[in-house]
Chain A
Amino acid sequence: MQPAIEIRNLGKQYPLVTSQPYIALRDVISNSAKNFLKPGKKAKEKFWALQDINLDIMPGERVGIIGRNGAGKSTLLKIISRITPPTTGHATIRGRVGSLLEVGTGFHPELTGRENIFLNGSILGLKKIEIEKQLDAIIDFSGVEKFIDTPLKHFSSGMQLRLAFAVAAHLEPEILLIDEVLAVGDAEFQKKCIGKMEDISKNSGRTLLFVSHNLGAVRSLCNKVVYLQNGRIKGFGAIDTIIEQYLGDISSTQNKKAAKGNGNVTIESCRLLSGENETSELFLGYPAAFELKFTSKQDLKNIEVAFNIRNIYGDIVTHSTTLDNKIQFEAITNETLTVKASLLSINITPGVYSIDIFVLNNGELCHGYTDFMEFSVINSDKALRPDGFPPHVITFSETNWEMIRHEDL
């Protein structure tokens, strides 16, 4: 049997964008005038977003693509879905492709829900007859039948998402490409979507390529994993092996840049735990722990350990230190210590975060990493709101709501 997706020596190079995301004709003219007057121009800097990708995916395989931000996951998906061309190599795709890099591509706020089903469906590659045939199933799956004939601008963001996903779930391609679209939306609906996708891929033998930070979703949907690191394939194979490799990489200090400090201690690793298991995703409102291992290079007193959690914009959303518990450690030369920080409840809103870790001695930094590892926070049953959190919300407060009636009024 021939592979459904066959990738050979694929590479993608981007010019390193310096200031402007686009070219202005004005600048082209003034630059070429400058170069004319002052010859000897410097070459433009470029970087490889993907390099030497070789991959065979057989029909019916469900492959998850994992890796840190910037590893090339989305670029790979964009090339396979023909949004952007590769710079080198080639790929052969056997079968009708449905790609879902965003939910609700092309939705228009002025059109009604029903009209948007047709528009979005046809952008995704469905024929009008196919949409008509599936229309009732789509509307039913979306759960917004009451509003289906009102303009989309009156829909809440959660309703729009449901409608969009309902259309996407009814695409019936042989090869389905999905990018992180489940990162949004409420837990209940996510479950429904994952269920529908499992149904599509497992029971009908479709090929699935799924990019996600959500390792749980990868585990439940896929039967193989591609692990990308800096634009290259680091691992490809069985789920458990590759995810273990990935977690090992992100928790170890190897290949980590931006180390700082006077070198009196060396951080060996930092693991993220949910219960007893190492993970890269935490559940909203549930406990989690960081486990940091370091070795002392000399006899030290007053050792302090601290961490920052940053959101995707680089803002520090929370910080914690052993000093909060009035704890400081002592270590003798070459002693290895493990410090466990247990968070009673994860109260930052669902999304992708990174952690900075520090070991200090008498207030002086001994060893530290910014952006040491990434993890995601996933919505849970602690926040049952139907539409997820608005994008600007940073923290979650677990709250008990009750109504007190004023009997004496």
Chain B
Amino acid sequence: MEKTVTQIHPPKGFSLGLKELWQYRELFYFFTWRDIKVKYKQTVLGILWAILQPLALMAIFTFLFSKTWPIDTGNIRYPIFVLSGLIIWNLFSNAVSHAGESMIHHAAIIKKIYFPRLIIPGSSVLTAFFDFIMGLIVFIIFCFIYKQGSHVSGAIFFLAGIVIILLAAFGAGTFLAALNVKYRDFRYTVPVLLQLLFFSSQVIYPLHSIGQPWLRNLLSLNPVNAALELFRAPLSGAQPDNNIVLIGLASTITILMAGIYFFRKTEAYFADIA
């Protein structure tokens, strides 16, 4: 049998460590499985909670905007527009905030055992994705209730939207996770930043309703906008806006690379400072 040889040296250079992540792939599963299991054991409402929150918000926004301040959402009915926005937004914000806290949360384990550290924020994102799937099922049911028309041709966009939001959340989450270990007071700014991001996302209003092209392009830097543009494509039947998608894609890739790079650069010292 071939011997595993491990080299230990001071940190230098940069690598993704994909091979090692693959070796430890089962740990992704176990951490995610634990988080889901614990979450649903601890709360009485369990899965219902992941569903009720966006539904309640949907009702509030629909009430507010359909009566007082009608917004043109094209072929998509407003409640469906908001609900689709909310489940994608929740996926992003849950994934980012949980991944951001994850390293501090796992400090005890980090100090006692080695495994590729990216697994920790990674499994936080997967846990948020599980909640998203629950929300998605409800969303599809609501599409039927509201007799929302859909176009199968947009299915590929729909999937691309989910992939973009996952990648962006993973990138931002790992960046935040590393930052939180290094600077312990940064976490207090996270809720404010997320709030800001929420209002710059086309969750409750469509980006098209913004008149100024420069502002629209600026807001497109927020990856949630590209994700929603794609996610809603099968509902509206319209072609997603190229500008929004391309700017969002570029910023997603930047966030992802910056997040992973910063994380990998600092992770060697997590056990010393966590």
Interface residues of A (CB under 8 A from B): 14, 21-26, 28, 78-97, 99, 101-102, 105-106, 108, 110-111, 115, 118-119, 122-125, 127-128, 151, 174
Which stretch of B52-60, B81-89, B109-117, B139-147 is in the interface? B109-117
Q: Let me know if A94 and B5 touch, CB within 8 A.
A: yes
Q: A92-B5, A92-B7, A92-B8 are in contact. Are A122 and B30 (CB under 8 A)?
A: yes
* Residue B38 lies at the interface, judged by CB distance under 8 Å to chain A: yes
Among A23, A110, A127, A128, contact of B38 (Cβ-Cβ < 8 Å): A110
Q: A80-B8, A96-B4, A111-B37 are in contact. Are A24 and B42 (CB under 8 A)?
A: no
Count contacts between A and B, CB distance < 8 Å. Answer: 114
In whole angstroms, what is the CA distance A55 to B38 when docked?
44
CB of A50 to closest CB in B, whole Å: 13
In whole angstroms, what is the CA distance A21 to B5 when docked?
34
In whole angstroms, what is the CA distance A24 to B111 when docked?
20
Among A22, A28, A95, A99, contact of B273 (Cβ-Cβ < 8 Å): A22
- B19 to chain A: which residues have CB within 8 Å? none
Q: A82-B6, A85-B11, A123-B27 are in contact. Are A25 and B183 (CB under 8 A)?
A: yes
Q: Let me know if B185 and A101 touch, CB within 8 A.
A: no
In whole angstroms, what is the CA distance A102 to B185 when docked?
29
Interface residues of B (CB under 8 A from A): 3-11, 24, 26-27, 30, 34, 37-38, 41-42, 108-115, 181-186, 268-269, 271-273
In whole angstroms, what is the CA distance A78 to B26 when docked?
23
- B185 to chain A: which residues have CB within 8 Å? 24-26
- The 7 A-B residue pairs whose C-beta atoms are closest, nearest first, are A25-B183, A82-B114, A90-B9, A91-B8, A93-B6, A102-B112, A122-B30
In whole angstroms, what is the CA distance A28 to B183 when docked?
9
Q: Which residue of A lies closest to B38 (CB)?
A: A110
Q: Let me know if B8 and A119 touch, CB within 8 A.
A: no
In whole angstroms, what is the CA distance A233 to B273 when docked?
26
CB of A178 to closest CB in B, whole Å: 12
29 of the cross-chain contacts (CB-CB < 8 Å) are A22-B181, A22-B183, A25-B183, A25-B185, A26-B185, A79-B8, A80-B8, A81-B113, A83-B112, A83-B114, A85-B10, A85-B11, A85-B268, A90-B8, A90-B9, A90-B10, A91-B9, A93-B5, A93-B8, A94-B4, A95-B4, A99-B113, A108-B38, A111-B37, A119-B30, A119-B34, A122-B30, A125-B24, A128-B26
Q: Which residue of B lies closest to A115 (CB)?
A: B37
